[in-house]
Structure 1
Amino acid sequence: MISFKQLPIEAKAAVAAGMVFFSMMLSRSYLAEKLDFRTQRWLLRLQMALFANTLMLMGSLHVWRSTVTTFTRSSAASSFCFMLWKIAVFMFLALAHSSFFTLLFLVAEEPYFFSLAAYTCLGAYIILIFFLFTLGSVEQAYKFLAGRGAKAGTGNKNRTALKPVLAVLLTVVLTVVGLLNASQPPTVNLVEIPVHKLPSTMNNLKVVLLSDIHLGPTVGKTKLAMIVRMVKALKPDITVIVGDLSDAEAKIIRPAVEPLGELDSPLGTYFVTGNHEYYTSDVSNWFELLKSFNIQPLHNENVKIVSPKSASDWFCLAGVDDIEADVLRYSGHGMDLKKALRGCSSEHAIVLLAHQPIAAKWALQERPDI
């Protein structure tokens, strides 16, 4: 029988990930009644960070073996440059792993440089893993097609060394492109949507939809203020924020949210939750904060949007909680279409706000008149 010590490090990491996941389920099932809500919230986020890191450990071992161990037998292995390379790879992996913990300790009005560096490394890490496995699969396919009888030689060694070099180069290029893209203002997509039963007095109604802003370790007040200016320049009749506004607790990041108070759409600004709101475990406080900025959360509920030209012309704007609330068993939350549409007349147009496309699909299957 194989003991735990004899297991390969990847298997040990998988076991550790399983134990962390089990502890998450245990704490939600048995410790919920014994801990105050704030402690529960912090513990869950810590467990999620540990779970992600134990899963990443397997990928990090592959990265180290591919980019460092592969070259230890080369003539350059004893050089000063190779030592610097090992330090660089180690720091890169350490920063990638630390990114999840910045959500717990490094959130403020504006992003910290460390958080930006950590999440940049996390993005590059994912790209690098993809290319290492893709190029590795291509290499294995080549060996299979070349035949089992082929002898190992200089060509094989060169291909083995070329794989990590090519993967790193591609990762650097795509990371730079990604950073340049992230530094640009958000793209405004203009879409015309025909709405059945919409009153003629509300034709050409302009709605600005915002999603996935993710205030937190990498997005702060400056970026949000820029987005708000862009929204105001569009002069919408209605503004809707459809989830993933933040990755942090409301109290911690409140100063960064202040630009939302400048939204002044004449027919109102509305909000529905995304999955990341539930990851913060702070949805109630987020609702209160948004209300203080005159933004109305639609928590499985609806409002009548009345035409400024005729009080008898209106449509029903409804919003549902994100489906992740059901997965996390978040008390008092979860997608409830019937509740969200309660009071909406089928004789009037109905517009539904939901964070995930799958939720919209489910809603249309149940209520094709939306």
Structure 2
Amino acid sequence: MYGLGKLSVEVKVAIASGVVFFSMLISRTLLSETVDMDTRAKLFRVQFLLLVNSFLLIGSLYIWKRTVTGLTRARWLSFRVAQCWRIVVLLFLVFAHSSYLTMFYLVAEEPYWLALVSYTCLGAYIILVFFLFAFGCVGQCHKLLTRGGSSARSEPPAIPGPAAVSSTTNNRQTILAILMTVALTVLGLRNASLPPEVVRVEVPLDKLPPSLNNLKIVLLSDIHLGPTVGRSRLELIVSMVNELEADVVVIAGDLTDSQVSRLLMVSEPLRRMKSRLGSYFVTGNHDYYTADVEGWYSHLRSLSIQPLHNSHARVSRPDSPQDWICLAGVDDLEARMLRYPGHGMDVRAALAGCAPELPIILLAHQPRAARQALQERPDIGLVLSGHTHAGQIFPLSILAYLVNPFFSGLYQVGEHSLVYVSPGTVYYGIPMRIGSRAQITEILLRSP
């Protein structure tokens, strides 16, 4: 850490960029159709870890400079306290960097404490970098304005000198950033520990047959079974779903972050999930990251959950089989980017055979996929998505809002189409939620 700290900023960025470039080379050249799936999964893990940690390295150097190099120079801080503080910050950064390793090596029936601590540190890391950078920018702007005002006057500089004032100001900004990070981390942990909120949404659906009026669809998304989401959380979700007495249950992607073999016991509560007319699943990007989609398809079928792999199912009541909804599902957008054999978003295949006079509901994990599907087929009445987590934690919520055409909630698209984006039923990795709440969505279909 001390050695890296002596390098110039340009060298640090060059090192990080080289790691990122190396990871991209692996992704584009070695992850081809000629490589078997197990090897591809291992290479992807290496690429993913290099990519993430190269970006984390830049932030870690910045955190170290602001919270250690800067603070420990303060005269009011004793040598012993300064040394203890260095150890605390170093451990914090080590835990943050090791978070993604737990995804591949610490997956069990219930989360390991190490995984929870590592991902909590990662969440705090993201918040801390944001506030340090934001306060630093504000400080620089204030300094420029102050210099501009001082240059117009002929008075000699005040005592203490500008360097001492600047150091004191930076330390105050750093302490404030740390305090805000701690407060938001505690708030986020508490919010994420709460059971999902059940939200009822009434959706007017064109061409809905009278026999299917008030059909109840329960939407789940982004459960992310893995290092920080275990069996007990899934049991709670299944229990809550069963209390809603759904006609149909749909899982709109990102069910898992690991292979079936590691999550057999964790996923077992899904066997008890009840629905009158069937339960369905479509893939999300993280399901493809496991490199075990076919294994999950087979396992979910054994749990009475039907995967929709660019396909559709007829949803109808037993007493009116002639009236049905085309419930379709498409593969996640990233299946093609990852070159996953036999997979890739195909709206035409998913809707082949759907009657034009009856309503169409499409499951598409990413809001960008929802937009593409509606551009291709404007006759789709409702698209159910997830992926955004409603940002999950600040400041990632800003990025999620900017890069997705639909962020969270119900959107009208054109005259006859709607998109509903779930904020997610649990969380991804980081056991925190700031500015959003985990959700189970109860959708009631109504005739307009």
8 Å CA contact retained: 1:76, 1:82:
no
1:272 is aligned to 282
Alpha-carbon deviation of 1:77? 5.4
1:356 is aligned to 366
8 Å CA contact retained: 1:45, 1:280:
no
Question: In structure 1, the residue corresponding to 2:321 is in which secondary structure?
Answer: strand
TM-score (norm 2): 0.78
In 1, the alpha carbon distance for the partners of 2:218 and 2:172 equals 48
Q: Residue 311 of structure 1: which of 321, 329, 336 is its match?
A: 321
User: What is the CA deviation profile of residues 158-209 of structure 1, one whole-angstrom value per residue up to 9, with x for unaligned ones?
Assistant: 2111111111111000000000001100111110011111110111111000
1:25 is aligned to 28
**Mean alpha-carbon deviation: is it higher for 153-162 or for 250-259?**
153-162
1:339 is aligned to 349
Question: In structure 2, the residue corresponding to 1:251 is in which secondary structure?
Answer: helix
Query: 1:235-250, aligned counterparts within 5 Å?
Result: 235-250=245-260
In 1, the alpha carbon distance for the partners of 2:285 and 2:317 equals 32
Unaligned runs of 5+ in 2: 1-6, 152-156, 381-448
User: What is the CA deviation profile of residues 239-288 of structure 1, one whole-angstrom value per residue up to 9, with x for unaligned ones?
Assistant: 00000101111111111000000012010000000110011111110101
8 Å CA contact retained: 2:26, 2:43:
no
Alpha-carbon deviation of 1:39? 2.1
Question: In structure 2, the residue corresponding to 1:310 is in which secondary structure?
Answer: coil
Alpha-carbon deviation of 1:47? 1.8
**Mean alpha-carbon deviation: is it higher for 20-29 or for 134-143?**
20-29
Letter in 2 for 1:293: L
In 1, the alpha carbon distance for the partners of 2:198 and 2:209 equals 26
Q: Residue 325 of structure 1: which of 308, 332, 335 is its match?
A: 335
Unaligned runs of 5+ in 1: none
2:388 is aligned to none
Alpha-carbon deviation of 1:46? 2.2
Higher RCO, Cα 8 Å, sep 6+:
2
1:179 is aligned to 189
8 Å CA contact retained: 2:115, 2:227:
yes
TM-score (norm 1): 0.94
1:123 is aligned to 123
1:262 is aligned to 272
Alpha-carbon deviation of 1:56? 0.8
What value does the CA root-mean-square deviation take over the aligned residues?
1.5
Alpha-carbon deviation of 1:74? 2.3
Alpha-carbon deviation of 1:79? 2.0
In 1, the alpha carbon distance for the partners of 2:235 and 2:189 equals 20
The answer on 1:167 being equivalent to 2:177 is yes
In 1, the alpha carbon distance for the partners of 2:282 and 2:36 equals 26
2:446 is aligned to none
2:37 is aligned to 37
8 Å CA contact retained: 2:254, 2:283:
yes
Alpha-carbon deviation of 1:78? 5.0
In 2, the alpha carbon distance for the partners of 1:98 and 1:72 equals 26
Q: Residue 9 of structure 1: which of 7, 12, 15 is its match?
A: 12
Question: In structure 2, the residue corresponding to 1:208 is in which secondary structure?
Answer: strand
8 Å CA contact retained: 2:31, 2:43:
no
User: What is the CA deviation profile of residues 15-69 of structure 1, one whole-angstrom value per residue up to 9, with x for unaligned ones?
Assistant: 222222223322114xx52x43212212211220121101110000000000000
Moved segments of 4+, more than 6 Å: none
Letter in 2 for 1:286: W
Greater helix fraction, Structure 1 or Structure 2: 1
The answer on 1:223 being equivalent to 2:226 is no
1:113 is aligned to 113
Alpha-carbon deviation of 1:357? 1.3
Among the aligned pairs, what percent are the same residue?
50
Query: 1:4-153, aligned counterparts within 5 Å?
Result: 8-29=11-32, 33=34, 35-76=35-76, 78-148=78-148, 152-153=162-163
In 1, the alpha carbon distance for the partners of 2:61 and 2:337 equals 31
Cα distance change, pair 311–23 in 1 and its aligned pair in 2 (3 A): closer
User: What is the CA deviation profile of residues 128-185 of structure 1, one whole-angstrom value per residue up to 9, with x for unaligned ones?
Assistant: 1111111111111111222255661543222111111111111000000000001100
Equivalent pairs, count: 363
Letter in 2 for 1:180: R
